[in-house]
Amino acid sequence: MIDKKTLTGIIGQAKAKGTKKKFKQSVELYVMLDSHRVKAADININETVALPNRPGNQPTVCVIASGELGMRAKRAGADAVIAVEEMDRLATNKKDAKKVSKAYDFFMADTSLMPRIGKTLGPFLGPKGKMPLPITLNSPIDQMLERLRGSIRSRTRAHSAISCKIGEEDTDDDKLAANALAVLESLERKIPNGLKVARRIGVKLTMGPLESTTDLGE
What pTM value is reported for the model?
0.84
The secondary structure of 124-178 as a DSSP string is HHGGGT-PPEEE-TTS-HHHHHHHHTTEEEEEEETTTEEEEEEEETTS-HHHHHH
Q: CATH 3.40.50.790 residue ranges in the chain? A: 61-148
Could you tell me the CATH superfamily of domain 4-56+151-212? Ribosomal protein L1/L10, rRNA-binding domain (3.30.190.20)
pLDDT exceeding 90 applies to what percent of the chain?
A: 68
pLDDT value for 131? 94
Q: CATH 3.30.190.20 residue ranges in the chain? A: 4-56+151-212
CB contact at 8 A, 167 and 55: yes
CATH of region 61-148: 3.40.50.790
pLDDT value for 192? 80
User: Averaged over 67-81, what is the pLDDT?
Assistant: 96
User: Which residues, in sequence order, are bridge partners of residue 212?
Assistant: 202
* 15: Cα separation from own chain's centroid: 21
Band (99; pLDDT cuts 50, 70, 90): very high
